[in-house]
Amino acid sequence: MTEQIVFDARDDDTGMRISVCMATYNGEKYLPQQLASIIGQLQADDEFIISDDSSTDSTLSIIESLHDSRIKLLKGNRFYNPIYNFENSLQEATGDAIVLSDQDDIWLENKLAVVRRHFGHKPSPIYTLVLDGCIIDENGAVMMESIFDTIGSRKGILKNLYNNTYMGCSMAFSRELLSIALPFPQGIPMHDSWLGLLTECFGTVEFVREKTIRYRRHSANKSFGKFGASQQIRWRWFLAYRLFQRWLTYSPLARRDAKRAKTS
């Protein structure tokens, strides 16, 4: 059992607003537990944006039953794609730091406190924080003690182009990243690799071995899925090409902002 460290969100007075962004699709089985683990950590000025992609189960009614004014539920969508479902949520985010969430994990009680601590002294305007966690099975039993150790998580553009170790459920990033990352281009394999690699191009990434989630691995979860070699090559090519396009477009702006940050 992974030890949980209890933090009280009311004890944090940094003034930082957090946007938690979640994408849902037929998540009724695990969603109530995940929602409970998030809601208790939100401050009064935080927001919880949930974009639902054509759920046909009780997902929407579970969310609506909470009657929490901090929740903004975006429903009636027909993306049929988790990448653009997450993009829809991100487009509505107004917080200083944006924290991604899957619908079927469990946050440890230190999650947002750790995010606030690191973002209180972020090293650059565009900043992504990647936090560790354990991996659990469908019933909540621990399968692996560390996500980082299991998938070899670390930064590196070529390393993560070849074998992505950015997992959205472990990531938080500064709002400034959205000005470069959105809209998501066609053909990328997943939103998390796109966001992580863009940060490496234009800002600072930190992988921190502090456990803040229980990542649920189950039959419907695709994060550890295997795909054919041709599909993987196609994804890598599209991702590298789209990164290069954004670099050509935004590199002068990024250099200007970095220079301003150093002199301010």
pLDDT in tens, 167-198: 999 999 999 999 999 999 988 999 999 999 99
Q: What is the mean pLDDT of the chain?
A: 90
What domains appear along the chain, each with residue ranges and CATH number?
A: 9-263 (3.90.550.10)
State how far the alpha carbon of 145 is from the alpha carbons of 12, 120, 178, in Å. 28, 28, 32
pLDDT-derived band at 263 (thresholds 50, 70, 90) equals: low
Q: Is 33 helix (H, G, I), strand (E, B) or coil?
A: helix
pTM (two decimals)? 0.88
What is the band of 224 on the pLDDT scale with cuts at 50, 70, 90? very low
Cα(20)–Cα(36) distance, integer angstroms: 13
pLDDT, residue 231, reads 78
Query: What is the structure's pLDDT at 11?
Result: 42
Closest CA to 175 of 72, 96, 68, 256: 96
Higher pLDDT, 19 or 236: 19
What percent of the chain clears pLDDT 70, i.e. is strictly above it? 86
C-alpha to C-alpha distance for 211 and 147, rounded to whole angstroms:
9
Which amino acid is located at 232 in the chain? Q
Integer CA distances (angstroms), 33 to 45, 87, 194, 216, in order: 22, 24, 28, 12
Specify the amino acid at residue 122.
K
pLDDT reading at 136 higher than 80: yes
Predicted confidence at residue 219, as pLDDT, reads 67
pLDDT digits (tens, 9 = 90+) for 15-68: 899 999 999 999 999 999 999 999 999 999 999 999 999 999 999 999 999 999
Q: How far apart are CA 95 and CA 18, in angstroms?
A: 5
Question: Residue-wise over 14-33: b if at least 16 C-beta within 10 A, else e?
Answer: eebbbbbbbbbbbbbbbbee
CA 199 to CA 139: how far, in whole Å?
35
Can you give the pLDDT at residue 261? 55
For residue 165, the one-letter residue type is: T
Contact 16, 45 (CB under 8 A): no
The average pLDDT across 199-205 equals: 96
